[in-house]
Amino acid sequence: MGMDKSVNVQYTRDANVTRTTRNEDDSCSSLCTPPSSTEPLEIILAKDFYFGFLSVDDCEEFLVQEGDFLVRCLPDPSNSQRLLWIIAVKDVKGKIQHIPVTRDDEDQYVLMKRKFPSLVELVHHYHTSKEIVVVSVPVVLRRTAAKPKWMLTDSSVTMFAQIGKGQGGSVWAGTFGETCQLGRRPVAIKYLHEDANPAQVASFEKEARIHRRLSHSSIVQFVAIVIDKYPVRLVTELCDNNLKIHLKKNASKLAQKDKIQICLDVSEGLEYLIGKGYVHRDIAARNCLMKQGRVRITDLGLAVRFANLKPTEVGPEKLPIKTTAPEGLICKVFSEKSDVWAFGVLMWEVFTGGAEPYEDLINRLDKRNWGNLLVANILAGYRMPIPLGTPKNVESVIKNCWQRNPVKRPTFHMVRKMLSNKSTKKWYQRLPMLKK
C-alpha cells in the first residue's frame, strides 16, 4: 500500500495460489466458531426469521410493512461465549424497533417479563399469539421478513488460501455452491479480523451494502454475503491480479492502446457508479483488479451516496492523500469531480507502468511530516510531470482532471467518450488546457 494513508485490503499476489489447510492460519482456523449457547445454534440458523449478524442500517431494506420482523444477533462484548439476540420489527408508525431479548440467571430467554427455555419458543409464542412486544408502541410480530437470494450460509462457502491482507481484514480465495465440488464457483471472500475497530466495521458493512446494489462489467461482481455466522463475509468474483501489480509486471509490454483500454474500463465503471449516486473516494490502481485482461473496480469502503449529483460533505474517515482532490483535502467535500481528480492520478499510474504517485516529491520532503507537506504542495499548484511517451490526447485529459477548480474538470461521460472515440483529437481540443 506504499505510503498512502488508506485502510483497505489489497490483493498481494496472483489469485492462482496453492491451496493451504485452514489450520495453517490462526485467523482462518478460528473463523466462524460460534459462541456457546444453551440452545443449539444450528436450530436457530435453520429458522426463516434468523438474519444472522445483519447490521442495524440494513434492517429497513427487509422490513417493509407494519409487523414485518426478523431476528439478528451481535457478539456480546461482556461475554465472548454469548450472543446478544435482537428482534427487529416495523411498528405502526413505520419505524424499526430493535428489541433486545435478555437472559436471566437460569439462561431463560426473557421478553415483556415472559420467560422461555429457547429463543425459538419465544419468537414462536409472540408470532402466533400476536401479543405486543413493546410497551411504548403497540407493535406485534406479524410476518417473517423474506430473505434475499444473496444471503448465503456458512456451509456453502469454503476458503482455501489467503490472497490479500490489510489493516483490519483479509481476502481469501475459495469456492461457493452445493456441498459437492462439481459446479462450485471460484470466489474471493473478504472478512474483518476480530480486532477490527468500529470505523473498519462500519466501512466493511457499507462496502457490502453498496456492492450488492451494483452490476457492471468494470466493477468487481458481487456474489453474496455470508451473514449467519461471525464474522460476516463479503463474497465476490475471484479476479486474476491487482492492477498495480499488473502494471509493474508488464510495464515494457503494454501497448498504448492497452493502457488506454485500462483507463477506459475504469472510466466506464466510475461513470456507472456516479449514475447510481455514489462517489468512490479512493480510486487508484491499488484498488482495481484484473479479470481476463479487463479492469474491475473494487474496495468501496470509502464510497458515499450523494443526492442529485451535488457535492457531499462526509465524516471523519481517513482519506488517501495522494488521490484526494483539493476540495476533499480542505473541506471534505466530494462529488463526481473529486473522483475525476483521482482518476487523473490513476491514468498517471497506468502510463508510468505502476509508479508510486508523488514518490519523487515525497523523497525530498521531511518524512516526519510528508503528508501535510504534500498537501501544501498540491494546494500551491504542484502537479506530477506527465509520463514520457503519453499520447497528447491522454495528457490533455490528465491535466484537465487536475484542474484546481472542480467545475473545470471533465465529467466521466466526457472522459469516456474522449478515450473511446477513434477520432480523439476533436475531443481533447474541446478541453481547456491546464494553465502552467
Tell me, yes or no, whether 324 lies in a domain: yes
Answer yes or no: is 28 within a domain.
Answer: no
The verdict on 190 and 299 lying in the same domain is no
Q: Which residue ranges are tagged as binding site?
A: 190
* Domain endpoint, select from 237, 258, 280: 237
Rounded Cα distance between 356 and 345, Å, is: 10
Of 237, 260, 287, the residue that ends a domain is: 237
Residue 1 lies in a domain: no
Whether the per-residue pLDDT at 425 is higher than 70: the answer is: no
Query: Domain check: are 251 and 322 in the same one?
Result: yes
**pLDDT over threshold 70, residue 1:** no
Predicted confidence (pLDDT) per residue in 47-82, tens digit = 999 999 999 999 999 999 999 999 999 988 887 778
**pLDDT at 10 exceeding the cut of 60:** no
For residues 49 and 97, membership in a common domain is answered with: yes
CATH of the domain at 48: 3.30.505.10
- 299 with 395, same domain: the answer is yes
Same domain as 231, residue 250: no
Q: What is the pTM of this model?
A: 0.82
Which residue positions form the known binding site for ATP? 190
Flag whether 430 is in a domain.
no
CATH number for the domain that contains residue 222: 3.30.200.20
Does 298 share its domain with 400?
A: yes
User: Does any domain span residue 16?
Assistant: no
Q: What pLDDT band is residue 138 in, cutting at 50, 70 and 90?
A: confident
pLDDT in tens, 83-119: 899 999 999 999 999 999 999 989 899 999 999 999 9
Query: Residue 29 pLDDT more than 70?
Result: no
In a domain, 94, yes or no: yes
Report the number of distinct structural domains present in the chain: 3
Domain assignment of residue 15, yes or no: no
- What is the reported pLDDT for 82? 82
**Residue where a domain stops, chosen among 135, 170, 192:** 135
For residues 264 and 387, membership in a common domain is answered with yes
Kindly state whether residues 81 and 168 are assigned to the same domain.
Answer: no
| pLDDT value, residue 422 | 53
> Which range (58-62, 122-126, 313-317, 319-323) has the least confidence?
313-317
Mean per-residue pLDDT, 398-422: 92
Q: Is residue 247 domain-shared with residue 387, that is, in the same domain?
A: yes
Band (30; pLDDT cuts 50, 70, 90): very low
Statement to judge: residues 252 and 391 lie in one domain: yes
* Residue 6 resides in a domain: no
Within this chain, do residues 248 and 212 fall inside the same structural domain, yes or no? no
Question: 16-28 pLDDT, tens per residue?
Answer: 332 333 333 434 4
Q: What is the domain range of residue 122?
A: 41-135
Tell me, yes or no, whether 231 and 259 share the same domain: no
Tens digit of each residue's pLDDT (9 = 90 or more) over 350-370: 999 999 999 999 999 998 999
Give Cβ neighbours of residue 331 (< 8 Å, ≥ 6 apart).
313
For residue 375, give the CATH number of its domain.
1.10.510.10
> What pLDDT is stored for residue 197 in this prediction?
84
Kindly state the average pLDDT of the residues 285-314.
85
Confidence check: pLDDT of 283 > 70: yes
